[in-house]
Amino acid sequence: MALFKTRSAAIYGIDAHLIDVEVDMFSSGNARDSVMVGMPDTAVRESRERIKSALINSGFGYPNKQFTINLAPANVRKEGAGFDLPVALGILGAMGAVKGLDRHLAIGELSLDGAIRPVRGALSVAVCARDMGIPNLIVPAENAAEAAVVEGVNVYGMRYLAEVVALLTRPEEFTATKPNGTAPLAEEAAMAPDFRDVRGQTMAKRALEVAAAGSHNVLMIGPPGSGKTMLAKRLAGVLPSLTFEEAIETTKVHSIAGVLRGSGGLLHERPFRAPHHTISDAGLIGGGMGTPRPGEVSLAHNGMLFLDEFPEFPRDVLEMLRGPLEDGSVTIARAAMTLTFPSRFMLVAAMNPCPCGFYGDSTRECRCTPAIIQRYLGKISGPLLDRIDIHVEVPAVPYKELRGNSTAEPSSDIRGRVERARAVQSARGFYNAQMPSRMIRKQCELDDAGERTLEMAVRRMGLSARAHDRILKVARTVADLGESQTVSAKHVAEAVQYRSLDRNYWS
């Protein structure tokens, strides 16, 4: 009888948890009597057939003996094919082909020929290995760049099972993967959409600059073809690059969802997600069968979620946004487990003022009746609207502005101001949109003129307590853009201006 133990990890939420893979080989019985315990799902149970072929085709053979494979702790469910490699190494250890895996953690799916396929969540696994004091991590070659960004762990990207055995027997012949850095590529920056391309829309550009500077949610209302989508895509280009801590957390979410692009290293630009209005609630918020997966609100974490044709989304799906917008996280409860995913994103929504799109347009006639317009606007509830800090009208661009020769301000200039404003906010410990309620009075202290302006706005517009707080946060952002230490009446007046459209359309 031979007992051998290897280590792997399982993903729950955006974190990985250490899993011990114990392989016990008996002299009696045969391979058909082998069992796998520890709450494995179907993909894990099927690994026995993949592992057998991989071992034989890699030249190691497969003993005609009974195995008991235990994935501990046994009280949590194990999902995915990432346990193939550690189980195969456990069998090889029980056969005496490899020794000493106490200082190694391994993940990877095996092909029948012994090739190692990439898996989800390699970055989270690398963080787990570091936190558990395991110095060496063996991952598929495609996941190596992603995992190598974690300091304190030697990451080895392997393509074949035979390579892994060579690493374990002759470690001096291999070198750990080096991180590839987080600097954005110059050609990517040159290809990004630029605000220079947008004609007119001076007020809308200013509102979006304020939104970007404070990470505020924004709603754009205007007729078809006025440039709402064009503005939204360029807004992503003026957001500052991710900090290292933000990049780690954001990349973990994308890695677990299996949507990490490029070389697989850290994300350096803030994510831009734009789901179609036919998306389901599980697709937007997260969920699915088995272990819950992150949805679009989590994939947009630390970035921007763009919802075009806002009222076309099912109302029940939109109402689910209220929790993530308020809390910055989303909790998904299932019978087997409850997981929490981060979802602190900047919501940018765009919509027409009515189904035909021309309500309030001075050049084209609206064909919608008042009842149809109210039913259309009613798809956006008051509580959801209250959570959107900035409401801005995007009218049709006049012909003279469309054909004019004036040069618009480039995104690089706007981004510079946004970065300076966010640097001020980072020194306070939070972006203005995420300012805790207890800090509002301290950070948004008004002068006498500002107090009178805000009082008049609250009384005349009948604003809620939440809208009152959001006006103060936006005013603080306007002051930060103007490099002002205090919030004055002009800052409050501009912030109030961004709350007028909901009273014009929804009142």
Q: Which of 125, 143, 173 is the last residue of a domain?
A: 173
Question: Which element (helix H / strand E) includes 273?
Answer: strand 272-273
201 by Cβ neighbours in 10 Å (0-12 / 13-18 / 19+) ranks as buried
Which of 31-40, 125-134, 210-219, 409-418 comes out lowest in average pLDDT?
31-40
Please give the pLDDT value at position 259. 86
Q: Is residue 287 part of a domain?
A: yes
Neighbours of 163 (CB within 10 A): 19
Please give the pLDDT value at position 33. 65
Q: Is residue 179 part of a domain?
A: no
Task: Report the C-alpha gap between 53 and 153 in whole angstroms.
Answer: 31
Q: Model pTM?
A: 0.87
Asked whether residue 161 falls in the same domain as residue 207, the answer is no
> Which distant-in-sequence residues (6+ apart) come within 8 Å of 111 by Cβ?
50, 54, 117
Which of 18-27, 176-185, 322-331, 463-472 comes out lowest in average pLDDT?
176-185
Q: Which of 403, 423, 447 is the last residue of a domain?
A: 403
- 67-96 pLDDT, tens digit per residue, is 889 999 988 788 888 999 999 999 999 988
Asked whether residue 199 falls in the same domain as residue 348, the answer is yes
Asked whether residue 23 falls in the same domain as residue 110, the answer is yes
Q: Is residue 226 part of a domain?
A: yes
Please give the pLDDT value at position 173. 92
Asked whether residue 250 falls in the same domain as residue 383, the answer is yes
Please give the pLDDT value at position 181. 56
- Band of pLDDT at residue 1, cut at 50, 70 and 90: very low
Asked whether residue 199 falls in the same domain as residue 169, the answer is no
Of the candidates 164, 38, 47, 143, the one whose C-alpha atom is nearest the C-alpha of residue 101 is 164
Q: Which of 354, 384, 403 is the last residue of a domain?
A: 403
Q: Is residue 243 part of a domain?
A: yes
Please give the pLDDT value at position 182. 47
Q: Please report, as a single letter, which amino acid is at residue 96.
A: G
Asked whether residue 135 falls in the same domain as residue 270, the answer is no
Task: Please give the backbone phi and psi of residue 45, each rounded to the nearest 5 degrees, phi first.
Answer: -65, -35
Number of domains, the chain: 3
Of the candidates 151, 219, 133, the one whose C-alpha atom is nearest the C-alpha of residue 501 is 219
Q: Region 166-172: what's the mean pLDDT?
A: 92
Q: Is residue 308 part of a domain?
A: yes
Q: Report whether pLDDT(263) > 90.
A: no
Percent of the chain with pLDDT over 90: 57
Domain with 41 in it: what CATH number? Answer: 3.30.230.10
- 424-461 pLDDT, tens digit per residue, is 999 999 999 999 988 988 899 888 898 899 888 888 88
- 229-261 pLDDT, tens digit per residue, is 999 999 998 999 898 899 999 999 999 988 887
Which of 137-141, 265-269, 298-302 comes out lowest in average pLDDT?
265-269
Task: Report the C-alpha gap between 288 and 67 in whole angstroms.
Answer: 33
> Which distant-in-sequence residues (6+ apart) come within 8 Å of 138 by Cβ?
85, 104, 105, 106, 107, 108, 156, 158, 164, 167
Domain with 449 in it: what CATH number? Answer: 1.10.8
Radius of gyration of the chain (CA): 27
- 341-375 pLDDT, tens digit per residue, is 999 999 999 999 999 988 888 788 899 999 999 99
Asked whether residue 386 falls in the same domain as residue 488, the answer is no
Asked whether residue 200 falls in the same domain as residue 122, the answer is no
Please give the pLDDT value at position 504. 64
Asked whether residue 163 falls in the same domain as residue 265, the answer is no
Q: Is residue 98 part of a domain?
A: yes
Number of residues in the chain: 507
Q: Is residue 443 part of a domain?
A: yes
Q: Region 371-399: what's the mean pLDDT?
A: 89
Q: Report whether pLDDT(186) > 50.
A: no
Instruction: Please provide the average confidence, as pLDDT, over all residues in the chain.
Output: 88
Q: Does residue 355 have a cis peptide bond before it, meaning omega lies within 30 degrees of 0?
A: no
- 129-159 pLDDT, tens digit per residue, is 999 999 999 999 999 999 999 999 999 999 9
Asked whether residue 261 falls in the same domain as residue 304, the answer is yes
Range of the domain at 151: 2-173
Helices within 215-274 (DSSP H only): 228-235, 244-257
Question: Token digits for 208?
Answer: 């979006």
Asked whether residue 161 falls in the same domain as residue 310, the answer is no
Q: Please identify which residue in the block is written with the tokens 């690398």.
A: 126
Domain with 264 in it: what CATH number? Answer: 3.40.50.300
Q: Is residue 412 part of a domain?
A: no
Neighbours of 108 (CB within 10 A): 30
Asked whether residue 240 falls in the same domain as residue 335, the answer is yes
Query: What does each C-alpha distance from 12 to 72, 129, 146, 245, 479 come to in angstroms?
Result: 15, 15, 18, 20, 42
Percent of the chain with pLDDT over 70: 94
